[in-house]
Amino acid sequence: MSLTELIRGVENHEKTLTAFNSDDETVGSLRTQFGDRNLTVRSETTDTGPDSYVVLSRESEFVTAASIADVLADRNDTTPEFESEAYRPILDHLDETMFTSYDIQQMIAASREIEDRAWRLGKGELHAGFQKLSILGPQMDIYKRLASKDGLEVHAYAAPDDDVPQHDTDLTIHVERSDEIRESWFVVYDGGGVDVNKCALVAEEREPRSFYGFWTYDPETVDWVLEYLNETYGLLAQ
């Protein structure tokens, strides 16, 4: 299975968020909040039960419930956050939920969350796909700094369209001629071997500079991506 096939598998498991006993404006706010996810938002009215709550389900199977007030809690920004406390009851269960049409800034914001986690913990493995060497170049200062952490092993992947950036750190650059590397953006952190710290962002460029993919905290998924990268591209490190 490739990264593209992994993304397709996640895409095929759409979840449904049902807003119970809520007005049209609230339902509209939920659709806006989760408009970039592979998530259907619908409304329903019941004669019993509390007002204004949501239920997350997958293939008609209950996943979790939360108050709409928690789900629509104000945040400081609109970028995906791996450690945000806002609407945590739902995001805990939106693991491996697709996002659609993320632009470069949204992708950078999501990537920075993982990079920051790796920097703060300072150990384990961080793997990042940059598509092309010309894209990796402007990010070298960040990745050289990450690679300067004694306990953190950092790998960057890119297709050759420029010279390999020079550096004097332990950063490993994998130069790959694979279409998968050219079309994929990923940042994967093994959490220093601790399951609760593992996270990954995996996406593909389906339209020019528009990305479709998912992020995940699931340890098994993170482990699979790392194993796939090591087995597929590990022997071609530069």
Residue type, 166: Q
Is the pLDDT at 12 greater than 70, yes or no? Answer: yes
Task: Write out pLDDT tens, residues 154-189.
Answer: 999 999 999 999 999 999 999 999 999 999 999 999
Is the pLDDT at 236 greater than 80, yes or no? Answer: no
Give the per-residue pLDDT at 74: 61
Distance separating alpha carbons of residues 69 and 52, to the nearest angstrom: 8
Give the per-residue pLDDT at 91: 56
Domains and CATH numbers, the chain: 10-89 (3.40.30), 98-236 (3.30.870.10)
Residue type, 193: G
For 57-72, the DSSP string reads EETTEEEEEEEHHHHT
User: Who's near 109: CB < 8 A, 6+ residues apart?
Assistant: 77, 79, 80
Mean pLDDT of 16-42: 87
Mean pLDDT of 72-88: 51
Task: Write out pLDDT tens, residues 112-171.
Answer: 989 999 999 999 999 999 999 999 999 999 999 999 999 999 999 999 999 999 999 999
Bridge partner residues of 210 (DSSP): 207
Residue type, 177: R
For 49-117, the DSSP string reads S-SSEEEEEETTEEEEEEEHHHHT---S-SS--SS--TTHHHHTT-TT-EEEEE-HHHHHHHHHHHHHH
Encoding tokens for residue 180? 């998968």
Distance separating alpha carbons of residues 181 and 130, to the nearest angstrom: 8
Q: 71-85, 164-178, 187-201, 202-216: which has the minimum mean pLDDT?
A: 71-85
Percent of the chain predicted with pLDDT > 70 = 88
